[in-house]
Amino acid sequence: MTERLKISFGIGRRFENFLKEKRAKNEGFLKKNKKIMSKKDLLEKLKNLGFQDYIVRAFERIDRSRFVPEEERDLSYEDIPLPIGFGQTVSQPRTIAFMLQLLEPAKARKILEVGSGSGYVLALLSEIAEHALIYGAEIIKELAERSRGILAGRKNIFIFHAPKKIGLPEYGSFDRILVSASAKEIPRDLISQLDQNGVLVCPVENSIVRVAKKNNKIDKIKEFPGFVFVPLIK
CB atoms within 10 A of CB 40: 10
- Per DSSP, the three-state class of 24 is helix
Out of 8, 65, 76, 91, which one is annotated catalytic?
Answer: 91
Q: Residue 146 belongs to what H/E stretch?
A: helix 141-150
Which residues in the chain belong to E strands, given as ranges?
Answer: 6-7, 82-85, 88-90, 110-114, 133-138, 157-161, 174-179, 194-204, 207-214, 217-225, 232-233
Given a contact cutoff of 8 angstroms between Cβ atoms, the answer to whether 176 and 104 are in contact is: yes
The CA-atom distances, in angstroms, between 98 and each of 6, 62, 65, 142, 202 are: 25, 17, 20, 27, 12
Q: Is 91 a catalytic residue?
A: yes
Tell me the CB-side half-sphere exposure of residue 69, using CA atoms within 13 A: 14
Active-site amino acid positions: 91
